[in-house]
Amino acid sequence: MPPPSRTGFEGGAATDRFRLIGDYFPILLSVSPLHYTESTVPEMGEAFEEYFIRGTRYVVIAVNPNRAEPPDAKQRKLVTDWIASPRVMSYSARLCLGSANIVPNALLRGLHTALLWAWNPPFPIKPVASPREALDYSLEALELAGVPPPRGAAGTRAAIQQRLHEIMG
């Protein structure tokens, strides 16, 4: 049984805190805050640290809640610096099997793809349009690595799809 998630996530309510939902481990749901603040990057670091220390491979589904504001330039720089830090790069390269980033807007999804042409992350990242595509990608990544989902593919898919719809509104 996975440890309880330290996310502050209650039902479908969006918050101003970054949340890493581990209820479906080895699939992690990375939920952006409604508004990025000075505490967002430290919250990200603290949330991922638990999984770095565990040392078990995982996939990430990244999602923005409905009405979430994108980070400003300063916050984007802080997030980028955290991701590019040697510690995060090392752990991510060893443990993260991939990340499906849900980007419903086709133009923004295209920009996301273009950014990946210029940056070579230590794990595969796939911008996707929907929770279904994110789940397809994540379950396939687990299967290819020989890592079973905790409740089997059908049970995991149903539970995560419901949670993502609550988050996205």
Q: Please write down the long-range contacts of 44-48, taking CB distance under 8 Å and 24 or more positions apart.
A: 44/18, 44/20, 44/79, 44/82, 45/82, 45/88, 47/6, 47/7, 47/18, 47/19, 47/20, 48/20, 48/88, 48/91
pTM value is 0.88
* Partner residues linked to 100 by β-bridges: 61, 126
Q: Residue 54 falls within a domain, yes or no?
A: yes
SS3 157: helix
HSE-CB for 113 with a 13 A CA cutoff:
12
Q: Residue 6 falls within a domain, yes or no?
A: no
Q: Residue 8 falls within a domain, yes or no?
A: no
Tokens of 56: 């078990």
pLDDT tens digits for range 107-157: 988 888 888 888 888 899 999 999 999 999 999 999 999 998 877 778 888
What is the tally of structural domains in the chain?
A: 1
Distance CA 37, CA 53 (A): 26
Q: Residue 11 falls within a domain, yes or no?
A: no
Q: Residue 28 falls within a domain, yes or no?
A: yes
pLDDT of residue 26: 96
Q: Residue 7 falls within a domain, yes or no?
A: no
Q: Residue 43 falls within a domain, yes or no?
A: yes
pLDDT tens digits for range 7-60: 444 444 567 899 999 999 999 999 999 999 989 999 999 999 999 999 999 999
Query: Would you give the DSSP letter of residue 144?
Result: H
Q: Residue 79 falls within a domain, yes or no?
A: yes
* Partner residues linked to 59 by β-bridges: 27, 98
The boundaries of the domain holding residue 67 are 19-168
Q: How many CB atoms lie within 10 A of CB 34?
A: 16
Torsion of CA 12, 92, 150, 145, to 10 degrees: 140
What CATH number has the domain bearing residue 131?
3.40.525
Distance CA 47, CA 43 (A): 6
CA angle, residues 16, 20, 23, in degrees to nearest 5: 125
